[in-house]
Amino acid sequence: MTAAIRANLPVFAVIAPLFVAFVLPTFARRTRLVEGLVIFVQAVGLWGTAYLARLVLAQGGLPIIYEVGGWSAPWGIELVVGNLGAFFLLVVAGVSLPVAIYASGNLAKEVEGARRRAWFYVLYLLLGGALAGMSITNDLFNVFVLVEVATLSCCGLVSASQEPSGAEAAFNYLILATLGSGMILGGIGFLYIVTGHLNMGFAARALATVWQDYPHVVWMAISFFMVGFGVKAAFFPLHIWLPDAHSVAPSPASAVLSGLAVKGYIICLMKVLFHVVGPELMQVFSLNRLLVLLGMVAILIGSILALGQDELKRRLAFSTVAQIGYIFLGMGLLNVKGMTGALFHIASHGIIKSALFLAAGAVITQTGKERVSELAGVGKKMPITMGVFTIASLGLVGIPLFSGFVGKWYMLLGSLGAGDYLAAAVIVAGSVLCAGYLFPVIRVAYFEPAPADDWQEPGVRQRLALILLAMGIFVLGTIPGPLLELALAAATDFLVFN
């Protein structure tokens, strides 16, 4: 029995959250059971993915290949748990467990009605399953299906707050994301026309030999992928939906949307660009220049826009735009250091932004104040919440000992290695700007007189989740160990063995 479970772990990582999501609506009113089941499946998922990651590391980066239905590669769907898959599975499971714990405590204050909350968890698990699938699938059409599942769950999560602005943001997001899905499907179609394969490995091999015969079709496919995944991942000029959507969603939803969902699309884009198209072809189409350039603009514009926001969650949402810019910049450098930095930043930003959004959500639900200027003295009344917020801010700025530093350091080394001193300057400037929009929150919270209001710390489950995330930030910053190894190996896979 255990052998069967072990052999099928890759597929369980995808279907276990989906199974639980399917049965939740039948006992929607029994909130305790729903919450218990969600936390249980996330905890088991974390254990399973940790086991998979250990297996991959022990094999020296040799991927675990799972053939669904027993059909081998060009015909069937392959799930490949390689370095990249194990890395992102670990990130997804590691972030969604604390968020689920937090949601079980805080959701009652943010979403009304037991049934609505149960449906929230359904969407949450569907998103988790889709992200797990995106990280390990090796089939282009499967990518599209999982992207659709994730997108629709995201729309539901955004509108869960039952406010009119939430519905508006979700509608905007739905329109743009559907456009993106169409683009992705178009890109897959063009690639399929040229290569005749949907499996990424086979498509890559076919593309390497035929692309010179159809340069325009390949160019078209790549631009469709860039725009499609760019919209969903909020890549700079296409980010317009993100600030609204991520700031009105309930705080656990904001945390997974900003921390994980956009990263899932980036992972898919990385797979398409590096596994299928390949670094050489990217240089032919000057994609790397485009990625670096737009990444730099995203860092600067996102950070500057974040400076001007008084609403706390909106400020964090604009900061996500800037951090996504970092990841794309690291991708575009086309060297192992930059790529490692981008991948590690996916993990560290996932944890940090979840912690920031959850802390902000706790502050907002406990005090009812949404604006930074109204939060005077909140640090004295809610020391744990604001303490975690401070740790996460230091991490995002990139202070050594916190996880954001490792990713940014590698990206800095990568940009210097590539001789791109402008990019290096922008990375540093982005950190300074990041301090510019996060430290005022801390200053207001700690160094201004506290009002007489009776503000209390959130419940024990929220505090537990926040402390877990803060510990994650600290551990990743001091001993990044296995996660950094996986990121390094994945980056090497992307750029060297192609």
Chain residues in the site for another protein (CB under 8 A) = 4, 8, 11, 15, 18-19, 22-26, 28, 66-70
Q: In the complex, what is the shortest distance from the CB of residue 323 to another protein, in angstroms, rounded to a whole number? A: 35
Closer CB to another protein, residue 70 or residue 449? 70
- Residue 397 CA, distance from chain mean position: 18
Residues 6+ apart with CB under 8 A from 230: 180, 238, 269
Closer CB to another protein, residue 122 or residue 194? 122
Residue with tokens 């499996």: 199
Give residue 393's identity as a one-letter amino acid code. Answer: S
Q: In the complex, what is the shortest distance from the CB of residue 76 to another protein, in angstroms, rounded to a whole number? A: 9
Q: In the complex, what is the shortest distance from the CB of residue 17 to another protein, in angstroms, rounded to a whole number? A: 11
CA nearest to 325, candidates 421, 391, 247, 233: 233
Q: In the complex, what is the shortest distance from the CB of residue 174 to another protein, in angstroms, rounded to a whole number? A: 16
Residues 6+ apart with CB under 8 A from 263: 88, 91, 233, 327, 346, 349, 350
Closer CB to another protein, residue 26 or residue 209? 26
Closer CB to another protein, residue 19 or residue 40? 19
Closer CB to another protein, residue 45 or residue 350? 45
- Quote the CA–CA distance of 402 and 395 in Å, as a whole number: 5
Residue 488: burial class (beta carbons within 10 Å; 0-12, 13-18, 19+)? buried
Neighbours of 341 (CB within 10 A): 31
Closer CB to another protein, residue 28 or residue 296? 28
Closer CB to another protein, residue 21 or residue 418? 21
Question: For residue 440, what are the CA distances in angstroms to 36, 262, 375, 405?
Answer: 38, 27, 11, 20
Question: For residue 181, what are the CA distances in angstroms to 140, 175, 198, 347?
Answer: 13, 10, 17, 25
Q: In the complex, what is the shortest distance from the CB of residue 24 to another protein, in angstroms, rounded to a whole number? A: 8
Q: In the complex, what is the shortest distance from the CB of residue 28 to another protein, in angstroms, rounded to a whole number? A: 8
Q: In the complex, what is the shortest distance from the CB of residue 210 to another protein, in angstroms, rounded to a whole number? A: 31
